[in-house]
Chain A
Amino acid sequence: MALNLVMQLGEWNPQMFRELKGRLKPRNILITVAISLVGQLLVLMSFSSQLPDADNPDVPYNRYCTGGASSNYSLPTCLRDAFGGYLINWQLWWKDVFVWLSIIGIFALLVVGTYMLISDLSKEEHRGTLNFLRLTPQSSMSILTGKLLGVPILLYLVGFLALPLHLAAGLSGEVPLSQILTYYAILGASCLFFYSVALLFGLVGNWLGGFQAWLGSGAVLIFLWGLMVMVLGNHKVTQYPTDWLMLFNPAILLPYLIGSNSLDATNPSYASGLRDFSWFGLPIGASVWSLAASMVLNYGLWTYWFWQGLKRCFHNPSATLLGKQQSYWLTASFEAVILGFALNPEIGEWRNNPKALFDNFQILLVFNLQLFLCLIAALSPHRQILQDWARYRHQNRSSRKGGLMADLIWGEKSPALEAVALNVTIAFAILAPWILLWPENQYKIPALWALLLNLSLIIVYAAIAQLMLFMKTPKRAALAAATVGLLVVLPPVIFGLLSMTPTKNAGVWLFSAFPWAAVEHATSTAVFLVIIGQSLMLGLLNLQLTRQLRQAGESSTKAMLSGRPPVAIQ
Chain B
Amino acid sequence: MAKELAIDTRGLTKQFDRHIAVNDVDLQIEAGAVYGLIGPNGAGKTSLIRMLAAAEEPTIGEIYINGDRLLRDDSNPTLKRRLGYLPDDYPLYDDLTVWDYLDYFGRLYRLQEPRRRRRLQEVLELVQLTNKRNSAIATLSRGMKQRLSLARTIIHEPIVLLLDEPVSGLDPIARMQFREIIKTLQEAGMTILISSHVLSDLAELCTSIGIMELGYLVESASLEEFYRRLSRQQIFLSSLGKLDVLQAELKNNPLVEDWEVLPETGRMRIHFSGGQEDCATLLRSLISAGVPLTEFHCTQEDLETIFLKLGHQQAS
Question: A315, B77: Cβ atoms under 8 Å?
Answer: no
> Which of B17-25, B261-269, B301-309 interfaces with chain A?
B17-25
Stretch of A16-24, A292-300, A454-462 lying at the B interface: A16-24
- Inter-subunit contact A133/B108 (CB<8 Å): yes
Q: Is the Cβ of B59 less than 8 Å from the Cβ of A18?
A: no
Whether A30 sits at the interface, judged by CB under 8 Å, is no
Which residues from A are CB-within-8-Å of B93?
22, 129
Known contacts A137-B77, A570-B316: does B19 contact A18 (CB below 8 Å)?
no
Majority SS of interface residues in chain B? Answer: loop
Interface members, chain B 39-57 (any A CB < 8 Å)? 53-55, 57
User: Which residues on the A side are within 8 Å of B16 (C-beta)?
Assistant: 384
Q: In residues 106-153 of chain A, which contact B (Cβ within 8 Å)?
A: 127-129, 131-140
The answer to whether B74 and A569 touch across the interface, beta carbons within 8 angstroms, is: no
7 A-B pairs with the lowest CB-CB distances in the bound complex, closest first: A14-B107, A137-B77, A136-B108, A137-B80, A18-B104, A22-B95, A128-B91
Identity of the chain B residue whose Cβ is nearest the Cβ of A126 in the assembled complex: B91
A10 close to B (CB within 8 Å)? yes
Residues of A within 8 A of B91 (CB): 127-129, 132
| A315–B72 CB distance below 8 A | yes
Interface residues of B in 209-239 (CB under 8 A from A): 214-215
A135-B80 in contact given A17-B104, A315-B72, A568-B19 (Cβ < 8 Å): yes
Question: What does the 1/0 interface line of A9-42 toward B look like (CB < 8 Å)?
Answer: 0110011011001100000000000000000000
Contacts of A136 in B (CB 8 A): 80, 105, 108-109
* B74-A315 in contact (CB<8A): yes
- Cβ contacts under 8 Å, A315 to chain B: 72-74
| CB <8 Å contact, B17 and A472 | yes
How far, in whole Å, are A570 and B85 apart by their CA atoms in the complex? 29
Complex alpha-carbon distance, A391 and B60, angstroms: 10
B138 part of interface (Cβ distance < 8 Å) = no
Report chain A residues within 8 Å CB of B77: 137-139
A376-402 interface mask toward B, CB cutoff 8 Å, 1 = contact, 0 = none? 000000011001100110011000000
- Determine the distance from Cα of A22 to Cα of B95 in the docked complex, in whole angstroms: 6
Q: Which residues in A have their C-beta under 8 angstroms from that of B57? A: 316, 318
Q: Which chain B residues border A316 with CB–CB below 8 Å?
A: 57, 72-73
- B152 interface residue per 8 A CB criterion: yes
Instruction: Give the residues in chain A near B96, CB-CB below 8 Å.
Output: 18, 21-22
Docked CA distance A315–B76 (Å): 12
Residues of B within 8 A of A14 (CB): 104, 107-108
CB-based contact B80/A387 at 8 Å = no
0/1 string, B76-106, CB within 8 A of A gives 1 = 0110110101010101110110001000110
Known contacts A11-B107, A132-B152, A135-B83; is A570 also within 8 Å of B55 by CB? no
**Set of chain B residues within 8 Å of A565, measured between Cβ atoms:** 18
**In the bound complex, CA of A369 to CA of B220 (Å):** 56
Tell me which of A128, A129, A133, A391 contacts B15 (CB under 8 A): A391
Interface size classification for chain B: 35 or more
| Chain A proximity of B103: nearest CB distance (Å) | 8
Tell me, in angstroms, the Cα distance from A456 to B77 when the chains sit together: 44
- The reply to whether A569 and B152 form a contact with Cβ atoms under 8 Å apart is no
For the complex formed, measure the closest distance between the CB of A383 and the CB atoms of chain B, giving whole angstroms. Answer: 7
Cβ B80 vs Cβ A569 within 8 A: no
Q: Does B289 contact A (CB under 8 A)?
A: no
Given contacts A18-B96, A21-B96, A392-B59, contact A384 B17 (CB under 8 A): yes
CB of B315 closer than 8 Å to a CB of A: yes
A407 to B91 Cα, complex, angstroms: 39
Contact with B along A211-241 (1 / 0, CB 8 A): 0000000000000000000000000000000
> Is the C-beta of B110 less than 8 angstroms from some C-beta in chain A?
yes
Q: B residues within 8 A CB of A17?
A: 104, 107
**What's the minimum C-beta distance from B48 to chain A, rounded to whole angstroms?**
15
Instruction: Tell me the complex Cα distance, A11–B113, Å.
Output: 9
Chain B residues with Cβ under 8 A from A569's Cβ? 19-20, 23, 214-215, 315
What residue in chain A is nearest B60 (Cβ atoms)? Answer: A392
The distance from the CB of B117 to the nearest CB of chain A, in whole angstroms, is 12
CA distance A10 to B74 in the complex (A): 21
Residues of B within 8 A of A133 (CB): 108
Instruction: Contact check, B20 vs A137: say whether CB atoms are below 8 A apart.
Output: no
Option from A311, A388, A567 in Cβ contact (under 8 Å) with B19: A567
Residues of B within 8 A of A132 (CB): 91, 105, 152
Does the CB pair A137–B19 fall under 8 Å? no
In Å, the complex CA distance between A131 and B153 comes to 13
Cβ-defined partner of A135 (8 Å) among B13, B55, B59, B89: B55
Min CB distance A556 to B, Å, is 8
- The CA of A64 and the CA of B152, in the complex, are separated in Å by 63
Within 8 A of A (CB), among B89-142: 89, 91-93, 95-96, 100, 104-105, 107-110, 112-113
CA distance A10 to B112 in the complex (A): 11
A contact residues around B107 at 8 Å (CB): 10-11, 14, 17-18
Q: Residue A387 contacts which of B17, B53, B85, B109 (CB distance < 8 angstroms)?
A: B17
- B311 → A minimal CB distance (Å): 17
State whether B55 touches A567 (Cβ < 8 A). Answer: no
User: How far, in whole Å, are A395 and B60 apart by their CA atoms in the complex?
Assistant: 8
Partner of B92, one of A21, A129, A134: A129
A-B contacts besides A18-B96, A129-B93, A384-B16, 10 pairs, CB < 8 Å: A14-B104, A15-B108, A21-B96, A22-B96, A128-B87, A129-B92, A133-B108, A138-B108, A569-B20, A570-B316
Cα A318 to Cα B100 with chains together (Å): 31
Bound form: Cα–Cα A240–B152 in Å: 56
Task: Find chain B residues with CB under 8 A from A392 CB.
Answer: 13, 59-60
Please list 11 pairs of residues, one from A and one from B, whose beta carbons are closer than 8 Å in the complex, sorted by A's number.
Answer: A21-B96, A129-B91, A134-B55, A136-B109, A316-B72, A384-B17, A391-B59, A396-B60, A568-B19, A569-B215, A570-B315
Could you say which residues of chain B place their CB within 8 Å of the CB of A10?
A: 107
State A217–B57 Cα separation when bound (angstroms). 32
Q: What's the least CB distance linking A121 to chain B, in Å?
A: 14
Complexed CA–CA distance, A128 and B90 (Å): 8
Cα–Cα, bound, A10→B116 (Å)? 13
Cβ-defined contact, A140 with B74, below 8 A: yes
Q: For A318, list chain B residues within 8 Å (CB).
A: 57
- Nearest-neighbour CB distance to chain A for B112, whole angstroms, equals 8
Within 8 Å CB of A134, what residues of B?
55
CB proximity of B306 to chain A, nearest CB, Å: 24
A135-B85 in contact (CB<8A):
yes
Tell me the minimal C-beta distance from A7 to chain B in angstroms.
Answer: 9
Residue of A nearest to B110 (CB): A137
> In the docked arrangement, what's the CA distance between A259 and B16, Å?
62
Listed residue (A11, A135, A139, A570) with the most chain B CB atoms within 10 angstroms of its CB = A135
**When chains A and B are docked, how far (Å) is the Cα of A137 from the Cα of B15?**
27
B9 to chain A: closest CB distance in Å?
15
Cβ-defined partner of B100 (8 Å) among A11, A21, A135, A567: A21
Least CB distance, B161 to chain A, in whole angstroms: 13
